[in-house]
């Protein structure tokens, strides 16, 4: 079985009851009780004022988590390729467009249209950070975390480069919410490098497996993991929070999962 | 990179179903663009619609995936023995060792647009027969494809607007090089929907006539739909002379604007240079460039500057969007197949509908087909959000 090995250098986290990685670490270690609360999304300071105000949930998630991970590793966002994986794009915007297209006035606005592409958040990311490096924008429904992690590791290992990986999901309003009930916004970012460095937090080795995905013991955290695709990465974050060596199975497709080993 | 072999490939667009019809249309300089009568669309424009999509029916066990996009995907898979070729690859390598990497921009969003017309007047709920995950969601086309073939290995959709199905070649290249898979089904499928038709119209980027790339009077895109697929395998030690190889992939971001290209084509330049670098080729080695060439004033001007910077003005080039229309998330895949046909048949396809080349865009833009030996070709695909991808394909001998 082939294994892809790399080194995690930075972590960003934002979600219901998770305001950043340091706070999240304490919860995932079990030092603090998990307190579910609506996700608090900071305004993206790097965007020009007008775009900052208009920015949607997924753009705010992307910038907040990505920059947290990169800043904590002491790296420059402008130099890093990014892999962005999400089940859907801007849900509010998608709903507004579908509503207009079903009405007598189909003249949707240009801004709504360019914000409707799945790679809108990646586009704003490169504009905000000045990164001309590649961005790879993926969709894999419930398998987004695993698909993004695999793509990231192949970039790191094959193209021998540092990559920032972002898995971000947000909610649709009704009526789409009932058809795709993602409860809240959740984003996780990992900076992953091909070699060990002074900023290495953990070594990660990933391979495909038929084993079932690990669940989380805490019922509220498990609910997050199972209802938000990006939160399928929580068992990995828990391992990283605990430190030391851990083996875990992360959810991916119905036909295959990811076996992940982490070590200091 | 170690070259990868496009052991099988196929394309279905408004110029034809499969390679034979596609090649014949290119040889005859026939466009598939026609006045738009799609659904209830009331825009004065032309589109590249694929005939017969509505008549396709999905296998019963995949009925949940039924939508225009997956119907077109299946129509595309049925051409040129592609279906059989994938099944033979699965028999050789195993169901977990053949990956799926498909590009789309809007997948089956048409299904949601139609469902919004049938919302419950009291509750606003969508109709009970609407299924989001297997139609609207961008992953639906890759999920459909992997289930159609019974594949169990890595599968993903790349959805970066109009570069989507070029970038899948880069993702597949990496996954194959990593050793996780032995072969990959790559390609792109995008279908007509109201979001893109009314969206491009709102931006003032849609032409009322068949698009005229690089024309002095060019005034916007014509939207098309297509399904294109290739089966990537490691190249045999002694490939046939006309075997088509993927030699380089180049990717970049503009970091400039959401819906306008960098005016100097800076991101496009980086993508082309990085593809050449990966292929170990010089600009002079490239026989033909399949341009992104959407026929908007700013896109063609920016791409021209980028091409001039990397290649000078003498490399033959054209945009085939005058034939197929801009098939958005499928464009990279369709144009990869056109490049493969160019390599195998020694045909540099003319750009259609262009009457008067823009004198400000100095390139060797082909207004007529040219027949000659073709050794290496480069294909450009750029998209909203400033996402760029260039691919290089070569003949083995």
Active site residues of B: 162, 292, 326
Determine the distance in angstroms separating the CA of A170 from the nearest CA of chain B, rounded to an integer: 14
What's the pLDDT band for A1 if we cut at 50, 70, 90?
A: low
Question: A2 CB near a chain B CB, below 8 Å?
Answer: yes
User: Diameter of chain B by CA atoms?
Assistant: 67
Could you say which of B152, B170, B266 has the minimum Cβ distance to residue A255? B152
Closest by CA to B341, choosing from B74, B14, B33, B80, is B80
Interface of A with B in 212-241 (CB under 8 A): none
B252–A87 CB contact, under 8 Å: no
Count of other CB atoms within 10 angstroms of residue B381: 32
3-state secondary structure of A156: helix
Question: A1 CB near a chain B CB, below 8 Å?
Answer: no
* Total CB pairs under 8 A between chain A and B: 219
The per-residue DSSP string of B216-241 comes to TT---B-EE-EEEEEEEEEPPSS--T
Q: What is the pLDDT, as a whole number, of residue A253?
A: 98
A110–B202 CB contact, under 8 Å: yes
Number of domains within chain A:
1
A138–B158 CB contact, under 8 Å: yes
- A40-89 pLDDT, tens digit each: 999 998 988 888 888 899 999 999 999 999 999 999 999 999 999 999 99
- CB-CB contact of B154 with A147 (8 Å): yes
- CB-CB contact of A33 with A16 (8 Å): no
Determine the distance in angstroms separating the CA of B185 from the nearest CA of chain A, rounded to an integer: 16
- A123-143 pLDDT, tens digit each: 999 999 999 999 999 999 999
- CB-CB contact of B48 with B324 (8 Å): yes
**Mean pLDDT for the stretch of residues B326-331:** 98
B153–A256 CB contact, under 8 Å: yes
Interface of A with B in 77-96 (CB under 8 A): 87-88, 94
Enter the ipTM: 0.98
**Mean pLDDT for the stretch of residues B52-72:** 98
Query: Mind listing the domains of chain B with CATH numbers?
Result: 4-395 (3.40.47.10)
Task: Indicate the average pLDDT of chain A.
Answer: 97
Question: A31 CB near a chain B CB, below 8 Å?
Answer: no
- Residue B65, phi then psi, degrees to nearest 5: -85, 5
**Mean pLDDT for the stretch of residues A256-260:** 98
Q: Which domain holds residue A152?
A: 4-263
Determine the Cα angle at B221 with ends B307 and B393, to 5°: 40
A209 vs A48: CA distance, rounded Å: 45
Chain B residue closest in CA terms to A116? B195
CATH number at residue A62: 3.40.47.10
Question: A170 CB near a chain B CB, below 8 Å?
Answer: no
- CB-CB contact of B158 with B165 (8 Å): yes
Determine the distance in angstroms separating the CA of A35 from the nearest CA of chain B, rounded to an integer: 30
Determine the Cα angle at A81 with ends A251 and A255, to 5°: 20
**Mean pLDDT for the stretch of residues B303-331:** 98
Question: A138 CB near a chain B CB, below 8 Å?
Answer: yes
Which CA distances in Å does B143 have to A140, B55, B104, B146, B269? 8, 21, 12, 5, 34
**Mean pLDDT for the stretch of residues B31-56:** 97
How far does CA A225 lie from the centroid of its chain?
13
Chain B residue closest in CA terms to A206? B180
A116–B126 CB contact, under 8 Å: no
Q: What is the pLDDT, as a whole number, of residue A52?
A: 87
Q: Which residues of B touch A145 (CB under 8 A)?
A: none
By mean pLDDT, which of A41-45, A68-72, B281-285, B392-396 is the weakest? A41-45
B158–A175 CB contact, under 8 Å: no
B331 vs B317: CA distance, rounded Å: 16
Closest by CA to B333, choosing from B101, B142, B108, B149, is B101
A107–B153 CB contact, under 8 Å: no
Q: What is the pLDDT, as a whole number, of residue A54?
A: 82
């Amino acid at each position: 079985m082939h294994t892809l090995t790399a080194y995690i250098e930075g972590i960003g986290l934002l979600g219901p009851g998770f305001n950043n990685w340091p706070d999240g670490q304490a919860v995932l270690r079990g030092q603090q009780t998990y307190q579910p609360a609506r996700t608090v999304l900071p305004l993206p300071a790097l965007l020009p004022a007008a775009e900052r105000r208009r920015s949607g949930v997924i753009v705010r998630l992307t910038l907040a988590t990505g920059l947290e991970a990169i800043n904590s590793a002491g790296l420059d966002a402008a130099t890093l390729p990014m892999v962005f994986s999400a089940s859907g794009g801007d849900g509010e915007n998608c709903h507004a467009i579908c509503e207009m297209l079903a009405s007598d006035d189909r003249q949707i606005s240009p801004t709504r249209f360019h914000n409707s592409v799945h790679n809108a958040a990646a586009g704003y990311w490169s504009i905000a950070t000045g990164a001309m490096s590649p961005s790879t924008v993926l969709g894999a429904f419930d398998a987004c975390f695993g698909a993004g992690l695999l793509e990231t590791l192949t970039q790191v290992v094959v193209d021998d480069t540092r990559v920032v990986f972002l898995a971000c999901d947000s909610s649709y309003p009704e009526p789409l919410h009932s058809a795709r009930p993602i409860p809240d916004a959740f984003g996780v970012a990992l900076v992953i490098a091909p070699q060990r460095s002074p900023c290495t937090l953990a070594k990660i080795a990933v391979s495909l497996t038929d084993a079932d995905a690990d669940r989380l013991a805490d019922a509220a955290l498990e609910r997050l993991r199972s209802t938000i695709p990006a939160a399928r990465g929580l068992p990995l974050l828990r391992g990283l929070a605990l430190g030391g060596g851990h083996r875990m199975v992360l959810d991916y497709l119905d036909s295959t999962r990811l076996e992940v080993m982490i070590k200091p | 990179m170690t070259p990868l072999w496009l052991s099988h490939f196929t394309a279905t667009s408004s110029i034809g179903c499969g390679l034979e019809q596609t090649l014949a249309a290119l040889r005859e300089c026939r466009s598939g663009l026609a006045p738009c009568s799609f659904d209830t669309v009331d825009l004065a424009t032309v589109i590249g619609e694929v005939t017969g999509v509505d008549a396709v029916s999905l296998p019963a066990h995949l009925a949940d995936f039924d939508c225009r996009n997956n119907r077109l995907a299946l129509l595309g898979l049925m051409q040129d023995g592609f279906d059989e070729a994938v099944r033979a690859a699965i028999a050789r390598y195993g169901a977990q060792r053949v990956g799926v990497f498909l590009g789309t921009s809007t997948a089956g969003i048409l299904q949601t647009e139609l469902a919004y017309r049938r919302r419950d007047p009291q509750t606003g709920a969508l109709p009970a027969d609407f299924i989001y995950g297997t139609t609207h969601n961008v992953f639906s086309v890759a999920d459909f494809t992997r289930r159609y073939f019974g594949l169990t290995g890595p599968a993903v959709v790349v959805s970066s607007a109009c570069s989507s199905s070029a970038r899948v070649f880069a993702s597949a290249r990496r996954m194959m090089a990593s050793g996780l898979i032995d072969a990959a089904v790559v390609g792109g499928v995008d279908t007509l929907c109201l979001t893109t038709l009314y969206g491009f119209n709102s931006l003032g980027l849609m032409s009322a006539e068949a698009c005229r790339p690089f024309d002095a009077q060019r005034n916007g895109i014509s939207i098309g739909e297509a399904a294109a697929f290739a089966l990537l395998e490691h190249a045999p030690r002694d490939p046939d002379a006309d075997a088509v190889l993927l030699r380089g992939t180049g990717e970049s971001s503009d970091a400039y604007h959401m819906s306008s290209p960098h005016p100097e084509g800076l991101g496009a330049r980086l993508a082309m240079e990085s593809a050449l670098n990966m292929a170990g080729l010089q600009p002079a080695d490239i026989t033909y460039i399949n341009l992104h060439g959407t026929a908007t004033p700013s896109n063609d001007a920016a791409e021209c500057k980028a091409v001039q910077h990397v290649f000078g003005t003498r490399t033959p080039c054209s945009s085939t969007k005058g034939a197929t229309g801009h098939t958005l998330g499928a464009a990279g895949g369709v144009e990869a197949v056109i490049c493969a046909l160019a390599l195998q048949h020694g045909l540099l396809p003319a750009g259609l509908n262009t009457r008067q080349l823009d004198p400000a865009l100095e390139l060797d833009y082909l207004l007529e087909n040219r027949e000659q030996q073709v050794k290496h070709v480069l294909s450009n695909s750029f998209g909203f959000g400033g996402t760029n991808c260039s691919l290089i394909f070569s003949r083995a001998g």
